[in-house]
Amino acid sequence: MFFLKKAENWFVWIFFPLALLLPLFLEQNEFYVNKLTSVVIFAMFVMSLDYLVGRCGMITLGHSMFYGLGGYLFIMIAPEYEAVNFWVYTFYICVIAALIALVVGVIVLRTSGIYMIMITLAIAQMCFYFFSDSVEFGGNDGLFIFTKPDTSLFGLSFFNLDDPMHFYYFCLLSLFNCLVFWKVVTGSRFGRIMEAVKDNPARTTALGYNVFLFRLISYCMASALAAYAGYLFALQYGYVNPSMMSWQTSGTALVMSILGGMGSLYGAILGTVVYEGLHYTFEHLTQHWLLLMGSMIIAMVMLFKSGLAGVIDNLVERRK
Amino acid sequence: MDFAIFLVQLLNGLQYGLLLFLIASGLTLVFGVMGILNLAHGSMYMVGAYLVWYFFQLTDQFLLSALISAALALGLGVLIEKTLIHRLYKRNHLDQVLLTIGMIFVFNALQSILWGDDPLGVPVPELLSGSIHLTELVEYPVYRLFVAALCLLLAGALYLVINRTRIGMLIRAGESNREMVECLGVNINQLYTLVFGAGVMLAALAGVVAAPMISIVPGMGEHVLITCFVVVVIGGMGSIKGAFVAALLVGVVDTFASVLVPGVSSMIVYILMAVILLIKPEGLFSSQK
Amino acid sequence: MSESPLSQSPSQLSQANLAEADDTSEAHAISEAHAASEAHARSESTVVLETEGLCKYWGGVKALDNMSLRFHERSLHGIVGPNGAGKSTLLNMLCGTYKPTAGRIIHNGDCINDIRPYDFARRGIGRGFQKTNIYPQVTCLENCCIAAQRRVGGSFNIFLPKNSSQLLEEMADQALAQVGLESRRDEIASHISYGEQRQLEIAMVLATAPSVLLLDEPMAGMGHEESQLIIELLKTLKKDYCIVLVEHDMDAVFELSDQLTVMVNGQHLITGSVEEVRDNSKVKEAYLGQGDEVI
């Protein structure tokens, strides 16, 4: 019921079953399962950015700050040698990230357009240097997570974080939930006004809506989910490091999101998968995969105006 | 801190600021006149440094290598504008971001293919290799003074071009109202090509003159790019005057911060920017309304 | 504005003049009675929106100087003046886009100088823009739903599906019906004609259930027939709303206005009935040019 557009429907029905089956063929190889997991996690991050940029019109180059914070927050608030409850800490991290986003948002959302790109970048860089310069947080090398949280809920343990397969399926479920969540948000009354704010802020103000508040709430939600993705990433590899917050992470996510088709939400998954797939392929072809990747991106901008989702939309609509 | 050290730091800061201005002026020009956000601008700085290293290996002449590099950079800028940027004027900032990130990838890859990933260095030209005494004990390298003087000279030239020529008039019109320049219609394509080429050349030139003072390493472009963004934003996007003031400010603040408060020195520039944007969300000398 | 607007003689006005010439006494009697009843009505009808010594300076430039006006309920207040007279500045201040440099804006007895721009709409001050300002990518119905949703509430509910409310849709439909756009209900806003887009914009403002309508040149760039549609629409609307109309089309303003204000260079020139303004020598001199051609 959420996936109204035909192309979207197709994608969901092809991608998720495929993603469910894929690890069965890869069971011997933990490396590939881990790789898939990190792609799925990153797709969640990209999706939150996609919502922010594509659905709210707030272009940020500092979103990686929250991705990184997701990991660092866990290290900061969780005791080092004691397994804490996964769900409780998920909640904590999302709430704290949203609160940080609230403060940052009040500053950042005073600006728009190119200034917003810049100031988000500056704040993320500040955060990046704070962690990469601090001895306490391991500087450039980051920190290890010694004790992974315990995932039991009401005394029942559904899955084990140390098992790559369990973790993969959990992340896949999270990704699906994220997609549904964002679809619900964009299809809600809140989403209607957010869309209006994006298309025409002046008109929306004149109709009596507090544009700033709508933007702020969206910013907080997207930041909380970015932090959630970062938290999962940190748990997967058992460490955090400042490169998670580097501007390159934001840049890459933005590229994936645009590649997939800005604002289409499912395009975030598509963009991440395609980008990572190309990355992997090129990396195996040549040591200079950046050259191929860069040329690919340039060709992409020149040829398609609305990303891969736009291409698929066109194909599907034409078949109809 | 005694006076001599203070003076040295101040000179360092100003010289760094002037170098930043050289790079940032191209960035802000391209944005002001064409509305293009060029993330690959830092790569041009890197290209300049690598080119001068390469030609210095071949010719052993710094001045000659510098001139060749600058000319090549101009050509490169024109080529990029004609083939890629040209088609992006009507598209949104996001597409520009995507394209220029793609260009960063390509330039980084080419650098790695052509010149490898090891740090490289260019010796200071013989003529400028000495030092002068500021006080009995404190010396200051002549080359750094030369760089500062050269940057000032270029800034002056830029000022003259912008304020005294017809092209400059169009650029100024672009600073205050980009749509209006589009309405003027006269040779707008040539103006765009020229401005973009000049911007690339200025960034490359900064790389060229910086080459003897730094180690030439992969990724040097990205670092300087972010700092230049800070400069351009503090100054006000599109404002050359703003970029000049902001570059000096950033240069001096950054240099002193690394002496006085080493712990947070890498953050200080961003804090400066956040504070200034809080007070003036459009930058110090914003001209775009 | 090289030509006098009055020289493009409006049909209504010339007819009135003819009547006067033919049967002076009767026409006088009628107009006197009319004026009396109007004056009576005005004194009784309440003032909804009021400005007191309103000023706006941009740097040293006085865009608007010492403007004191009263806008009455169930009437249309026209504002005319040459380009740069400060009409749009006035309108922008009445809806909170600009903050006044000095003076007060009073709505239903409260000074509303310092409330947030979006609170103007919440208090029932709705505005239309000079350039068409709609949401072009969604349907006409959706445009009105966006406007009406503030009354229904739930705009901060991220889980409430947007199409769940029958009431909301009815409100939007009603607003569309008020401007006669029912047939365009499900069309994408950018696909309907320019005139219809202006109508849609009025519908959106109506969907917010305003008490005051601020309209900035709703007939600009329209053909004669389209303008006529808007004029008829405003005639109906002014029975229920307080309308402040900034408009260049003199025929329309003279036809519609219960009260008329003339502004020149940010200054208030005169406020009065259409007849008072038309016969005022200062107006002829400053704005209307060679008015004697008509009279």
Instruction: List, as one string, the DSSP characters of chain B.
Output: --HHHHHHHHHHHHHHHHHHHHHHHHHHHHHHHH----TTHHHHHHHHHHHHHHHHHHH--HHHHHHHHHHHHHHHHHHHHHHTGGGGTTS-HHHHHHHHHHHHHHHHHHHHHHH-SS-B--PPPGGG--EEESSSS-EEEHHHHHHHHHHHHHHHHHHHHHHHSHHHHHHHHHHH-HHHHHHH-TTHHHHHHHHHHHHHHHHHHHHHHHGGGS-B-TTHHHHHHHHHHHHHHHH-TT-HHHHHHHHHHHHHHHHHHHHH-GGGHHHHHHHHHHHHHHH-TT-TT----
- Cα torsion A237, A242, A248, A253 to 10°: value is 50
**So what's the pLDDT on residue B67?**
93
Distance from A110 to chain C by nearest Cα, in Å?
15
State whether C88 and C215 are in the same domain: yes
Mapping DSSP onto H, E and C, the string for C237-251 reads: HCCCCEEEEECCCHH
Domain boundary among C209, C244, C260: C209
Residue range A108-136, pLDDT digits in tens: 888 777 778 888 888 898 899 889 888 88
Look at residue C3 and tell me if it is in a domain: no
Residues of chain A neighbouring B109 (CB-CB closer than 8 A): 288-291, 294
Look at residue C152 and tell me if it is in a domain: yes
Query: A258, B31: Cβ pair inside 8 Å?
Result: no
Distance from B186 to chain A by nearest Cα, in Å?
26
B239 at interface of A, judged by CB pairs closer than 8 A: no
Look at residue C30 and tell me if it is in a domain: no
Q: Which of A190-194, A239-243, C164-168, C235-239 has the highest mean pLDDT?
A: A190-194
State whether C161 and C282 are in the same domain: no
ipTM at complex level: 0.82
Distance from C284 to chain A by nearest Cα, in Å?
36
**So what's the pLDDT on residue A8?**
80
Residue range A259-276, pLDDT digits in tens: 888 888 888 999 999 999
**So what's the pLDDT on residue B181?**
63
State whether C117 and C56 are in the same domain: yes
- B26 pLDDT more than 50: yes
A258 closest CB neighbour out of B37, B98, B110: B98
Look at residue C4 and tell me if it is in a domain: no
Which residue from B minimizes the CA distance to A300? B99
**So what's the pLDDT on residue A244?**
92
C157 at interface of A, judged by CB pairs closer than 8 A: yes
A291 closest CB neighbour out of B88, B95, B109: B109
Phi, psi of C78 (to 5 degrees): -85, 145
State whether C157 and C220 are in the same domain: no
**So what's the pLDDT on residue A210?**
94
Average pLDDT over residues A53-60: 91
Residues of chain A neighbouring C146 (CB-CB closer than 8 A): 192-193, 196, 204, 207
Average pLDDT, chain C: 80
State whether C52 and C191 are in the same domain: no
Instruction: Tell me what percent of the residues of chain C surpass a pLDDT of 70.
Output: 81
Instruction: Tell me what percent of the residues of chain A surpass a pLDDT of 70.
Output: 96
Domain boundaries, chain A: 6-319
**So what's the pLDDT on residue A260?**
85
Distance from A218 to chain C by nearest Cα, in Å?
10
**So what's the pLDDT on residue C23?**
44
> With touching defined as 3+ CB pairs under 8 A, do chains B and A touch?
yes
Question: Counting Cβ atoms within 10 Å, is residue B169 exposed (0-12), middle (13-18) or buried (19+)?
Answer: middle
Average pLDDT over residues A192-219: 93
Q: Which amino acid, residue C208?
A: T
Average pLDDT over residues B89-110: 86
Average pLDDT over residues C123-132: 86
Of the CA atoms within 13 Å of residue A76, those in its CB half-sphere come to 14
Look at residue C27 and tell me if it is in a domain: no
State whether C172 and C70 are in the same domain: no
Query: A207, C129: Cβ pair inside 8 Å?
Result: no
B277 at interface of A, judged by CB pairs closer than 8 A: yes
Confidence of residue C295 (pLDDT cuts 50, 70, 90): very low
Confidence of residue A316 (pLDDT cuts 50, 70, 90): confident
Residue range B37-92, pLDDT digits in tens: 888 999 999 999 999 999 999 988 889 999 999 999 999 999 999 998 888 877 77
Confidence of residue B184 (pLDDT cuts 50, 70, 90): low
Look at residue C87 and tell me if it is in a domain: yes
**So what's the pLDDT on residue C4?**
42
More confident residue, C275 or A312: C275
The sign of the torsion formed by the CA atoms of B211, A250, A50, B238 equals negative
More confident residue, B241 or C16: B241
**So what's the pLDDT on residue A5?**
65
Query: C149, A189: Cβ pair inside 8 Å?
Result: yes
Look at residue C245 and tell me if it is in a domain: yes
Average pLDDT over residues A186-201: 93
CA distances from A228 to A48, A64, A180 (A): 10, 12, 16
Nearest alpha carbon to residue B232 among B250, B253, B257, B220? B250
- A310 pLDDT more than 90: no
Structure pTM? 0.85
CA angle C277, C279, C282 (to 5 degrees): 75
**So what's the pLDDT on residue B46?**
94
Interface residues from chain A to C (CB-CB < 8 Å): 184-185, 187-193, 195-196, 199-200, 202-211, 213, 217, 221
> With touching defined as 3+ CB pairs under 8 A, do chains C and B touch?
no
Domain boundaries, chain B: 3-279
Cβ atoms within 10 Å of A16's Cβ, excluding its own: 16
B285 at interface of A, judged by CB pairs closer than 8 A: no
Domain boundary among C158, C175, C209: C209
Average pLDDT over residues B91-103: 84
Distance from A119 to chain B by nearest Cα, in Å?
7
Residue range C54-66, pLDDT digits in tens: 998 887 778 888 8
Distance from A56 to chain B by nearest Cα, in Å?
14
For C148, the domain range is 134-209
Question: If residue C267 lies in a helix (H) or strand (E), which one and from where to where?
Answer: strand C267-272
Q: Which amino acid, residue A228?
A: Y
- C18 pLDDT more than 50: no
Average pLDDT over residues A157-175: 87
**So what's the pLDDT on residue A137?**
85
**So what's the pLDDT on residue A288?**
85
Alpha-carbon distance of C71 to C18, in angstroms, equals: 32
More confident residue, A31 or C15: A31
